[in-house]
Amino acid sequence: MATKQKSGGLGRGLGSILPDIDLETVKPVADTISMVPLAQVTSNPFQPRKEYDETALEELAQSIRQQGVITPITVRHMPDGSYQLIAGERRTKAARRAGLKEIPAYVRTATDNQMMEMALVENIQRADLNAMEVALAYRSLIEECRLTHEELSEKVGKDRSTITNYLRLLNLPSETQLALSRDVISMAHARALAGVDDIERHLEILHEVIDRKLSVHQTEQLVKSGKGKPKVAVRRRGDLPETHLAAQSRLKERLQSTVEIKRSQRGKGTLTIAFNNDSDFERIMAIIES
């Protein structure tokens, strides 16, 4: 029988946020915490968080050297004997830096969909994901679990309009997405820029916003003032053949990063994959080379 949870907001418990999960199946295998070899702990492929502050990681590693890991991570036992992270990626990274060989962990049983949902909810509650990470996480949940925007809003306790606004960020040019993921611009800036369909004009405004450090209101005024300007003929996403569009979508999903394909009428083009830092680059390369 599924464990009953009290209703409420985002922190109301997995049972009410994810009603299809039988919580008896995701309880620890034992009442005690297991010590898991760090060498056997693998990353969560559904982890929405892509960036980690190096200074904060080192501070946590120093704390772990002195006091150990206070809060256990959560993993699931895989058929090959490894332990795949559900929650606790940052603690695991810091424990490795601290030189630990083992880490305390709850071992749970979960399907891929349950694992993705738990990782998403756990990370969103931390409130430190950047807007692009949240958008990618929402898209993964919608596509993998075949949810509507309404169903997703119910699961994560967010308004449907909020879900839609995040997903719209995925249609922005890669340069704008990168600026947003690095907190160079805010989500409100990005929403204003989303109203500019002409790519050249869009990027022109983006650079002006960054160079002049414009406020959101100033950005909105700049967007409005430029709507009467003649548009320059540019190649749009729709000009790509279906095969290229499908490949771009698959790469975005597999790499969990911004991917952009540009192609000339003669078939010549470029494939651009964005990464946020050295760790993200190594993650992407590991996926490509696997």
Catalytic residues: 89
Give the count of alpha carbons within 13 A of 89, CB side only.
Answer: 19
Q: What is the DSSP string of the chain?
A: -PPP----STTS-HHHHSTTS-GGGGS-SSSSPEEEEGGGEE--TT-------HHHHHHHHHHHHHH---SPEEEEE-TTS-EEEEE-HHHHHHHHHTT-SEEEEEEE---HHHHHHHHHHHHHHHT---HHHHHHHHHHHHHHHT--HHHHHHHHT--HHHHHHHHHGGGS-HHHHHHHHTTSS-HHHHHHHTT---HHHHHHHHHHHHHHT--HHHHHHHHHHTTTSPPPP---GGGS-HHHHHHHHHHHHHHTS-EEEEE-TTS-EEEEE--SSHHHHHHHHHHHH-
Angle at 274 between CA 148 and CA 85, to 5 degrees: 60
